[in-house]
Amino acid sequence: MRDSFDVPVQPHAVTVAEVIPGDLLALSEQEVAEEKWHVVMHTLPESPDTIRLTLRPPLGGMDHDQALERGHRVTVACRRMDVSGIPRIASVDLTEVEFRDGDRVTSLRTVDPRAVEESYTRRWGRWHQDLESRAEEPVPDAVLRERLDAAAQDGCVVRHFPRPRRDAASGAGAPRRVVVTGLGAVTPLGIGVDELWQGLVEGRCGIRELEGEEFAELPVRVAGSVPVDPAGLLPRPQARRMNRAAQLAVLAAREAWQNAGFDVAGTAESGLDPERVGVSVGAILGDASVLVGGDRKLRDKGPRAVSPLTTPMTVPSQAASQVSLALRITGEARTVTSACASGTEAIGQAIDRIRYGHVDVALAGGAEAVVTPAIMASFAAMRALSTHELGVISPSRPFAKDRDGFVNGEGAGFLLLESEEHARARGARIYCEAAGWGLSADAHHMAAPDPSGSGVALALRRAVRDAGAHAVDVVHVNAHATATTDGDLAEASALRAVLGGDVPVTALKGHLGHLQGAAGGVEAVATVLTLHHGLIPPTIGCEEQDDAIELDVVTKAPRALPALGDLALSNSFGFGGHNAVLALRRTA
């Protein structure tokens, strides 16, 4: 209906006797100036000299009658309205309304045919006009009531739309809610989730000098390497059939499994149907050293020296298959390879597998072991690695003015995901909800990010939307922030575009280095713990923040999570423009 008023109104004066139903008119010159118009709904002669007009606002409202002399001059707008299409609506008295989050109220100046409806939505006890903007200042209930009461007095129609109450019967066939019930990690800060969390909160750096003659000639000899040989923590017959990435994966997955309250012996011993449990692991290469070692033996000693385990221990899917073997999981064992976004995408895919009923439980995360001479030399040749030396300040410096590249690393991180009904039925501890995820592709360059950050911004928006949330719900971002000059700027630009610059952000690669395909899994574990403990770990290495970043980067000490809001995002971006964002929601 409003589209018909895109053409300028052409008012002219007529007598009341000339008015017919459908005319758009103003009763005085002052009303014309104030854009206050009425639609003639009915005309009824009252006497030989007077006519009673029934008038209604053009955008809807209540009728009122006006008796005028036939010769009285009014202004019409050269518009003929369909009177059957103008709604009869009344303002709601909000005085006694009990508001709930999710309610919406609107205000519309219906006498102005060009008016735009104002809409407010209640979130976290405050009213927002735009839930995707964090720039506006939301208002409390009392202020909104005063504002809309004044609008109603000024002729606006105020309406209240309560949040729909959930009908239990309508839930049939809907996607299931997914929750996190277990955590596991093996990182440069040590073995286990406790070592990871304490190291992050205390601001410890797990990056160390690489020892061994194979690294001696490299231009960069620091990395985030796991401080313990994982093979020594596994039964020898199993360990010798696994590459290093698979060993890390099995250790982290077993911890998550036990942390969720299951028997480490496997699915059947835990009372689970093994066909209803899945594995989803992100990895780029898994463990490049196996193939390199096999090639060296071939050249040095001939084909008989090459182990028959070389091929099965080389494929990136070895981590997923070994986790499946270790816990006797038969539902599925998936591998995701999307560069440094692999771990996060693997978790996202597992969320959907549970949501839509393919499995009830899933171990999901990432594992990588690429701290090898060839990989280090390749990254150095790309000029992607930091040249800062070990010292008081971490050589990995996310968002810092003096950042100059990433520090290569290794590790594994896993979430134990379950459908909410499955977790509650067995009385499991719930860390948080795995609420959603988002993907996108830059389509810009083989290695460099799109400097606009538009692809990253799309993944952020999709993750928030997939979680059924809005920008105003986000309380924290665990940034990818590898400490490369262009990558950090692109991510910061995307975060400002989607969330503004006031959301507390932390980056963990100063503690860990860049764990490649495992980064998303480990950082997801850290984000879950941030929600669980209500505490944001500090970013280390960022002694002086780059002025161009323009984000609220948490440094120096941990910070409490904001009270209002419930969503945390964990970002992962990879070579080739792979972007993945995980959305996690804290639970009461």
Name the residues annotated as catalytic: 340, 480, 514
CA distance 105 to 92: 10
Euclidean distance between CA atoms 62 and 55, whole angstroms: 8
Give the dihedral sign, CA 446/449/454/459: positive
CB 517 within 8 A of CB 545: no
The per-residue DSSP string of 414-478 comes to EEEEEEHHHHHHTT----EEEEEEEEEE--S-SSSPPTT-HHHHHHHHHHHHHTT--GGGEEEEE
Nearest to 582 by CA among 132, 253, 282: 282
Beta carbons of 537 and 560 less than 8 angstroms apart: no
Q: Is 132 left (phi over 0), alpha (psi -120 to 50) or beta?
A: alpha
Residue type, 150: A
Distance (Å, rounded) from C-alpha 376 to C-alpha 370? Answer: 8
- The 3-class SS string of 194-259 reads HHHHHHHHHCCCCCEECCCHHHCCCCCCEEECCCCCHHHHCCHHHHCCCCHHHHHHHHHHHHHHHH
Partners of 180 in beta bridges: 417, 432
**Which three-class secondary structure state does DSSP give residue 489?**
helix
Q: Are 92 and 149 in contact (CB under 8 A)?
A: no
